[in-house]
Structure 1
Amino acid sequence: MNFLRKLLGRDEWAITLPVLDGPLLPNQALEEAETFAELAGADNLVATEKGLVASSGNRLFRYEAAGQGEVIAEFDQPISAATAAKGMLAIGIDGDGVVIQGGQHGGRTFKDAGGRKFGCVTALTFLDANTLLMANGSDAVPASQWRRDLMQKGASGSLWKLDLKTGTATCIADGLAWPAGIATTGSNRIYVSESWRHRVLAIDLSSGAREPVLEHLPAYPARISPAYDAGYWLSFYSVRNQLVEFILREDTYRARMLAEVPEPFWMAPSLASGLSFREPMQGSQLKQMGVLKPYAVTRSYGLVANCDARMRPLASFHSRADGTAHGTVAACEVGDDLLVASRGGGRILRLPGVANGHREFQR
């Protein structure tokens, strides 16, 4: 049966893609958004009682309401995840686990458990004041090599529960294809975005049972953060590309590409594009009459979706192929505003009034 599916291009061997439609219908909301702050490699937005915290490389910044930022911490390796609760900051250090700063558990670190190293922390969220949930994206590569994990069809990610009192770590789920976001629901069930399988899972913390709640996404889901009205903000690395889907099924070609071509020029999703004439292109990505069409197939894209309490999309915010606000890897609410980290665009965007449910301009 697997041979027939491969021969006929069905199921996991199909290269057809879901379209951006319905609540995910493209618009220019991110491209037209205000710039809250310029920040190269903007990543990991966390709202705290002392202001917005954002990461850039190995530095952690705190921002005032006016967008003025200051460095509050610096590490030897890039910051790959962050979250906050009750005066505490939990920070994922790429290749070096998790460290807690401030609060009653300040100084606590988690670097490995059961012989497995936490070298690829992709998402963190507090379950309560003494429990931290952590996603380890891969056992094979650090978080900075997310493109390599995708192109190698990685599925060694895991979900962990960290006890901040005792320092113990418990594996909740294993064999995940790059878990990139975690959200709590107020119950024993949590949501986890599984990027390489283009879906969001509901996982039971007691049994580890998992159930897809949002499938067949046209993009690679990243972090999840709380939204107004018990909903969620789901951010994305980039949209899927039919040529990438084809290459993922061509093992020999893919192995040579990874071995012989510099990573910036792989035919793979990216956080930004158009930076070099050596980037791979398709006919639809070429400019026509000097113009790149907004609906062109693209390696990078900007997309944040607002979902309800069941993770059903309600509205979305885009930066299309001809835009620059791409690589929207994180989003969070600050008052009535939505702030979005455009890692590809090197800035933090602000969408005023979006976090109070006003989405009329999206139509």
Structure 2
Amino acid sequence: MFGLNRKQPARISLLDGPLCPNDMLEQAVALPIDAPDDICVAPDGSLLVSSGKRVLRLRDWQSDSLTVISEFNHEVTALACRADGVIAVGLNGGGIRLITQEGDAAPGWEGQENGVQEATACTFASDGTLLVADAGGIDDQASRLHDLYSETGNGQLIRMTETGDRSVIASGLRLPYGVIETAAKEVLVCESWSARISQLSSDAPPKAVLQDAPGYPARIHALSGGGYILSLFARRDPLIEFVLSEPAFMNRMKAEIDPAHWIAPRFAARADYRVPIQMGAARLFGDIKPWAPSFSYGLVVILDKNFLPLASAQSRANGTRHGITAALEWRGELIAISKGSNELLKVTAMDQLI
């Protein structure tokens, strides 16, 4: 089964230097949030958080200060806020909605709810247009895993205007999960399954500014002093990369096994006897070893302006705060979303991290 038609396994950056394993995410102060996914900062300085089908506002780090801005018929999958207060909300299978800070439909944007299959990230550009990462119909965990092992790019990056115009900036992307416009007005997109961040241009092919990441990149946000905060929702396990290099085994796994039990990245650890490599020396005296093989992990990386790592915050194999899908700077603190533990994390002061 192994060895025939083998492809060269991909390179994986090591967790070393600024990426040296730590338990900073496990030590973070947390607020429980039901089904969180994305966060952004509003013009008034409050924090907007997606929670299932709702968009919440957090004014202070107190659970009783959470208020509901709006509720939708679909799960909220992406958030962005413009300087004038307009909030872009990506919905699971429901396109994009634009609302005000009070939750009403934003004037001039009423027709923008269609045309996007699955928004995974969005951001407002400096010219007021909206950049949307569209995963191309990947709307649940099973479809994400099929997309990983199909090794095709179904995602695209779309620019939307207030008048309803749409243009595709890039297509053929492998699970685009983060997008940002830099201070130089360059557009960057995070491709999870390609483990890279690419700079996009209308007159040139994508240029990788970060590649061979140690995990699967999700959202990316700017640092106030320059640089970026990158969230990675899971580590790239060597066993997963090995399966990707073995087409015969990969195709048999896809044909015969439920995706829930595939050798594949996940947002959270599973206590299930059917988990692959259950007997792979993952436990010692009943406890999961922090260095054990793990398909879920918590990882936030601080990058400088040249995309070199400066620091990281992690939750290791024996932790619970995995599946970090978004992280940003808020009032001088590093804030992150953990889908694995359903929490909003206040990790540490940024000046203590870098």
Fold shared by both chains (TM-score > 0.5): yes
Superposed displacement of residue 128, structure 1: 3.0
Superposed displacement of residue 285, structure 1: 5.2
Paired letter, 2:244: L
Superposed displacement of residue 249, structure 1: 3.0
Residues 1:23 and 2:23 aligned together: no
- Does the CA-based 8 Å contact 2:299-2:312 persist in structure 1? yes
Paired letter, 2:181: T
Paired letter, 2:319: G
Residues 1:199 and 2:196 aligned together: yes
Residues 1:76 and 2:70 aligned together: no
User: For residues 46-125 of structure 1, what are the structure 2 equivalents within 5 Å?
Assistant: 46-48=40-42, 49=44, 51-68=46-63, 69-85=66-82, 86-102=84-100, 103-112=106-115, 118-125=116-123
Q: Deviations over 1:296-333 (max 9, x none)?
A: 11010000011112222111110000111100010122
From the superposition, tell whether residues 79 and 290 of structure 1 become closer, same or farther in structure 2 (CA, over 3 Å): same
Q: Which residue of 1 aligns with 2:151?
A: 153
TM-score (norm 2): 0.90
Question: What SS does structure 2 have at the residue aligned with 1:246?
Answer: helix
- Looking at structure 1, the residues matched to 327 and 209 of structure 2 have their Cα atoms a distance apart, in angstroms, of 21
User: For residues 283-322 of structure 1, what are the structure 2 equivalents within 5 Å?
Assistant: 283-284=279-280, 286-322=282-318
Q: Which residue of 2 aligns with 1:279?
A: 275
Q: Which residue of 1 aligns with 2:38?
A: 44
Unpaired segments ≥5 residues, structure 1: 1-5, 113-117
Q: Deviations over 1:54-93 (max 9, x none)?
A: 1122222212313332222222221111111121110111
From the superposition, tell whether residues 197 and 73 of structure 1 become closer, same or farther in structure 2 (CA, over 3 Å): same
Q: Which residue of 2 aligns with 1:115?
A: none
- Looking at structure 2, the residues matched to 328 and 183 of structure 1 have their Cα atoms a distance apart, in angstroms, of 18
Paired letter, 2:46: G
Paired letter, 1:291: D
Superposed displacement of residue 219, structure 1: 0.8
- Does the CA-based 8 Å contact 1:16-1:242 persist in structure 2? no
Superposed displacement of residue 8, structure 1: 9.1
Q: What is the aligned-residue RMSD (CA, Å)? A: 2.2
- Looking at structure 1, the residues matched to 222 and 35 of structure 2 have their Cα atoms a distance apart, in angstroms, of 23
Question: What SS does structure 2 have at the residue aligned with 1:352?
Answer: strand
Paired letter, 1:109: Q
Superposed displacement of residue 47, structure 1: 1.2
- Does the CA-based 8 Å contact 2:27-2:347 persist in structure 1? no
- Does the CA-based 8 Å contact 2:126-2:185 persist in structure 1? no
Q: Which residue of 1 aligns with 2:135?
A: 137
Residues 1:267 and 2:263 aligned together: yes
TM-score (norm 1): 0.87
Residues 1:235 and 2:231 aligned together: yes
Q: Which residue of 1 aligns with 2:124?
A: 126
- Does the CA-based 8 Å contact 1:179-1:195 persist in structure 2? yes
Unpaired segments ≥5 residues, structure 2: 101-105
- Looking at structure 2, the residues matched to 232 and 108 of structure 1 have their Cα atoms a distance apart, in angstroms, of 33
Q: Which residue of 1 aligns with 2:333?
A: 337
User: For residues 213-224 of structure 1, what are the structure 2 equivalents within 5 Å?
Assistant: 213-224=209-220
- Looking at structure 1, the residues matched to 126 and 98 of structure 2 have their Cα atoms a distance apart, in angstroms, of 14
- Does the CA-based 8 Å contact 1:219-1:239 persist in structure 2? yes
